[in-house]
Structure 1
Amino acid sequence: MEQRHLGRTGLRVSRIGLGTLTWGRDTDERDAADLLKVFWEAGGTLVDTADVYGDGEAEYLLGQLMEGLVPRRDLVIATKAGSVPDPDRRFDGSRGHLLAALDASLSRLGTDYVDLWQVHAFDPETPLEETLGALDIAVSSGRARYAGVSNFCGWQLAKAATWQLAAPGVRTRLSSTQMEYSLLQRGVEREVLPAALDLGVGLLPSSPLGRGVLTGKYRHSTPADSRGASEHLAPFVAPYLDDAASRIVDAVATAADGLATTPLQVALAWVRDRPGVVAPIIGARTAQQLTEALSVEALSLPDEICQALDDVSAPVHRYPDQDWSTL
């Protein structure tokens, strides 16, 4: 699999990443082992997790598999910290919480470092420089090799990345930002992506298949074994089952028919090759699904197909994005 640099750093990752959101909850050890083995054998390196996935079970399961299935040196392990299961405070970006969470992640993963450590979300109750200081400590102590953020809006990303470049002392450059990005969710194109491109921060798209909807599986009904039929994941899928999404899915299916491929591969190739994108994160349920996704390595969409998909899915950006003189 092709390798890409993560932002303006020397770290290289596979241009498709493996997500572990459901590991330890909906994905058991056997299925997780199958997924990791298929991914590794295809040349995949980037595995994305978080301390809250499965209440820590995703990290623990990944650590167990690295012991006996895939060598640690062959993987780029990315994890996140900052989300908390507290109804009064969803995110905690304080130095104390983040560094304690990192130590707990390392223990579950069974490793003394992670390749990429990311702040899971912006915490408005903690000074940003304190949050970023935790990234500096993690990297300088060797517990993390690179640092990034996740779910930061445009101004938050720009402020954080600029602070790390401009503040005095030894600071850790932000190498990545992880955000939802697909043909069904192009909001990052408004401010996040321009900021990332300007500041040398690589984009790691989550849910690149529109939470599974872009595979076409929901075009006529909701399969009983799908996440859309799952009690705890149905609300996650539901926002992308409206008429606007249906028109985009139909266009993807039409493109797939014309290219003799699948809607999954068309949708994934589109986001993989967008400017600024480093590696979409795929959260496959089965090894068969992952194998289909990884086969996109050989697919490049023709320019006319990309343009048609751009047109049908184009978000509405008005003031201040368009030329004010035309308003």
Structure 2
Amino acid sequence: MEYRTLGRSGLKVSTLTMGTMTFGGGGPFAKVGNTDLAEARRLIDLCVDSGINLIDTANVYSRGTSEEIIGEALGGKRPGDVLIATKARMRMGDGPNDEGLSRYHLIRQCEDSLRRLKTDVIDIYLMHAWDGTTPLEETLGALDTLIQQGKIRYAGCSNYSGWHLMKALGVSERQGLPRFITQQIHYTLEAREAEYELLPIAVDQGVGVMVWSPIAGGLLSGKHRRNQATPEGTRQLAGWTEPPIRDENRLWNIVDVLVEIGEARGVSAAQVALAWLLGRPAVATLVIGGRNEAQFRDNIAAAELKLTAEERARLDRVSRPPVIYPYWHQAFTANRRFGEADLVIDRG
């Protein structure tokens, strides 16, 4: 297992992170999975034994049950150098202050997460989504309080747009408040929108990238094929519609190439999709999940897979996003003065 520095910090994380959205199976998350405590213990042991040192969850996953299962599975004692990341922002009750990134909500939710996880400190505390009604000074100030109290070690964000992230970094710098060391984003061969703004910002500003749903909810696993029925037991069949697919023909073209490369290398299409991501700029770790041990074992094997330049080029071509403005204009007028962050964008 390879370990990479997470953004502009000294924290080393494994290139694969254990995702736990399937733990608990409560409410809408039942469509994703319903891993119970016994199975969670086995899966955590498998991941830790494979070298994974980061477990990712969120307070909203099955309304706290995922965190509770992790806490019970670890028994209040983390094996080795295992790190825990969790998130806050989503609605956790019926009251007017039971969602968002206010000081009130963040501090309360952090304390609830600590209790459920049976731990004294959260290693990476992620703001799960943007809150346009709470001043960033308040959110970052609350994170500063939590860091000073020893309840969290690092802060990050998730699902922010480019201007949201840059605004947050600017406030941190001006006010001397905690700086996001990482962003957890959706980024796959099928969904490369992050290359327009979020990845260049990551390169330029030193913000580590954690990728959620790196095989697009299983759509890039090779189990879903063109003109075939959706396999039993998948989240798509259960009605989970994230991520959205805007061009189905393009999706299947990508899957065709993934399967061809996988068959030639004797590995799964999922492993090829994960290996492509691990070769992208600023990507530190991929959050992998699974309903069972076989899925985790297959994903874990991707940590050792290195694609050739030709294989990467094939995948780049079949998945290349449109060159939107201002990037097509820059390609004509500014290409001789591009910096490292500019080169993240695939202009063909």
**Shorter-chain TM-score range:** over 0.9
Cα deviation for residue 196 of structure 1 reads 1.4
Q: Tell me whether 1:23 sits opposite 2:23 in the alignment.
A: yes
Aligned partner letter, 1:148: G
Q: Secondary structure, in 3 states, of the residue corresponding to 1:156?
A: helix
* Equivalence map 1:253-268=2 (5 Å): 253-268=259-274
Partner of 1:311: 317
Partner of 1:99: 107
Structure 1 residues 188-233: Cα deviation after superposition (integer angstroms, max 9, x where no partner): 11001111111111000001001101111111221111112224x2
Distance 1:261 1:51 in 2: 34
Instruction: Answer whether contact 2:89 2:128 (CA < 8 A) is retained.
Output: yes
Closer, same or farther in 2 for the Cα pair 1:56/1:217, shift >3 Å?
same
Partner of 2:216: 210
Q: Say which of 117, 120, 126 aligns to 2:134.
A: 126
Aligned partner letter, 1:227: R
Structure 1 residues 229-258: Cα deviation after superposition (integer angstroms, max 9, x where no partner): 224x2x236637822211111111111122
Partner of 1:155: 163
Partner of 2:275: 269
Instruction: Answer whether contact 1:213 1:241 (CA < 8 A) is retained.
Output: no
Q: Say which of 6, 31, 40 aligns to 1:32.
A: 40
Closer, same or farther in 2 for the Cα pair 1:214/1:90, shift >3 Å?
farther
Distance 2:220 2:102 in 1: 37
Closer, same or farther in 2 for the Cα pair 1:62/1:241, shift >3 Å?
farther
Distance 2:122 2:168 in 1: 21
Instruction: Answer whether contact 2:37 2:72 (CA < 8 A) is retained.
Output: no
Closer, same or farther in 2 for the Cα pair 1:256/1:225, shift >3 Å?
same
Structure 1 residues 4-33: Cα deviation after superposition (integer angstroms, max 9, x where no partner): 111010111111001111211121112212
Distance 1:264 1:325 in 2: 33
Distance 1:140 1:280 in 2: 29
Q: Say which of 49, 56, 61 aligns to 2:57.
A: 49
Percent identity over the alignment is: 38
Q: May I ask how many residue pairs the two structures share in their alignment?
A: 322
Q: Say which of 185, 193, 207 aligns to 1:179.
A: 185
Q: Tell me whether 1:67 sits opposite 2:75 in the alignment.
A: yes
Closer, same or farther in 2 for the Cα pair 1:311/1:241, shift >3 Å?
closer
Instruction: Answer whether contact 1:91 1:122 (CA < 8 A) is retained.
Output: no
Structure 1 residues 139-186: Cα deviation after superposition (integer angstroms, max 9, x where no partner): 11110011100111111111112321x2244x2221100000110111
Q: Secondary structure, in 3 states, of the residue corresponding to 1:148?
A: strand
Distance 1:207 1:58 in 2: 17
Partner of 1:79: 86
Q: Tell me whether 1:111 sits opposite 2:148 in the alignment.
A: no
Closer, same or farther in 2 for the Cα pair 1:139/1:72, shift >3 Å?
farther
Distance 2:182 2:242 in 1: 24
Closer, same or farther in 2 for the Cα pair 1:35/1:137, shift >3 Å?
same
Pairwise CA RMSD: 2.1
Q: Tell me whether 1:296 sits opposite 2:302 in the alignment.
A: yes
Distance 2:24 2:116 in 1: 12
Cα deviation for residue 89 of structure 1 reads 9.3
Distance 1:276 1:183 in 2: 16
Taking structure 2 as the reference length, what is the TM-score of the superposition? 0.88
Q: Say which of 193, 200, 206 aligns to 2:206.
A: 200
Partner of 1:137: 145
Partner of 1:249: 255
Partner of 1:283: 289
Q: Secondary structure, in 3 states, of the residue corresponding to 2:217?
A: coil
Distance 2:255 2:275 in 1: 14
Runs of 4+ in 1 over 4 A off after TM superposition: 85-91, 324-327
Cα deviation for residue 84 of structure 1 reads 1.0
Aligned partner letter, 2:2: E
Q: Tell me whether 1:224 sits opposite 2:232 in the alignment.
A: yes
Distance 2:331 2:275 in 1: 36
Distance 1:15 1:30 in 2: 26
Instruction: Answer whether contact 2:158 2:185 (CA < 8 A) is retained.
Output: yes
Cα deviation for residue 86 of structure 1 reads 7.3
